[in-house]
Structure 1
Amino acid sequence: MSLACADHGTIVVSRNLPISSSQHIVFPSCRCPSRSQSLALLNTSPGNVVLDAACGRGHTTACLAEKACHALGADIQPQQIERARERFGHRPHVSFAVADLTRLPEKAAGVDLTPGCIDPVHCLEAAFHFGPAGRRAFLAGNHRVLRPGGRLVLVDFAWPDTALWTLAELDSHRLVRVRRGSSRTSRPRRPTLLMPLLPGSTSVPSGAGRRTLSLRWPGLAELAHEDWQDLITVIRAHQTLGRVAGYHALVCDKPAQ
């Protein structure tokens, strides 16, 4: 068995990167699975060196360190890494680095990323944004750094081959598929988390609703009116795609030998 990446965004078994076993898990709703659900798939042990790919503001990386792992959080956005260091950089066994996950360096924040140095790799709702070439490079790079017997857990947005509409038709303005690093840094990293909190109509939530959401994402309070409307448009785009697409987890183990 081996691992490859199809152009439309789905990770498939093909003839590229050898894996010893794989699991494909389909989550029952269009919402991204919880952090605990995703981390449970890693099956980490104390002392593991874990790469949290596209870590955002670092909460997942910190959770891994709490499991007695040595956790490296990497993200292409310097603002996200700065915030992650402010929140969690003082904790033991956790480090953060600005890095392009499609072009992994040989070392980041003092952590060795040469071949075979990482026990598991975790990537939650990020690879969808890399584009076809970026996803291939991401898979190849992470396969390289995984130790023999190491595991990749990839949880992301996936599109069924049987859908009546193409992804390009339902996301014609590329609001969902925006490449990581080009979106506004004040947006929540996972806009799907806001979806259940919005009313069913297409109107922008009231001032009171925005204040409520800002308790969870303080950066929302700083958005100008035009930026707030832009954010709601992005969330609506996720809602539209969510009626057809959904979240899947791919768990792949590298051969032990």
Structure 2
Amino acid sequence: MQKLIVEVNEKMIDLSKLGFCIKERPSIPTPERVIETIDIPGRDGDLHVEKGYKDIDITVELNFMDDHLKDRIRVVKEILLDCDKIIFSDDQEFCYMVNFTKIGDIENEVDFYGSFEVTFNCKPFSYKLSTFKFVSAIDSFRVDGYKSAPLFKITNSQGDCYFILDNDNSKKIGVNIRASVVYVDCENMTCRSDDGINLLEYMVGDFIELDKGIHRITAYGGMSKVEVMTREGWR
């Protein structure tokens, strides 16, 4: 039986254990590439500029059967509206990152059975779940997916410390402040301390994306450890 698993605040919830099952495996849209076409006089052919990918909608029909139908629906609606990721049981190594959720009308002709559609608006790619864990970034690390918007964790910043990625000075990231832990989030473009204090004004360098391949980090100044969560997206 196909199952839908959702993540809410880093907690995985199998909806089948709450009595909600997928009627049939939904089709997953292929992300649509956004291309800007520019006609340049004197140039053979147009200039095509890739500008990223559009979000995708994944629609799932859920069936449910329960003697306490109304109460169970209230519970699952809260879960669906708050979820951050969705995972299908036949592909549990990958997830889809949810932007927002829309819940359709609930159809139930009898008091203990019903169905409804849920549409998850998601980021364009599927993401490998194992890449949502921190790994050491000193020396080298590998990205296997199409694209990565990494989360860096800098431990024991002594101020005026930074690292350079792939020996490219344009890929320099650091902080000019003493802190036990600093997170630099290239997906959400934030820089914060371990207790949530905004450190963006102390950040050095720009947020980056990582392409597929091996990446190398060289650290400078006072930092005892650099870790990375690659959060790899696959098309």
Instruction: Tell me the TM-score normalized by structure 2.
Output: 0.28
Structure number, greater radius of gyration: 2
Instruction: Tell me the TM-score normalized by structure 1.
Output: 0.26
Higher relative contact order (CA 8 A, sep 6+): 1
Higher strand share: 2
Higher helix share: 1
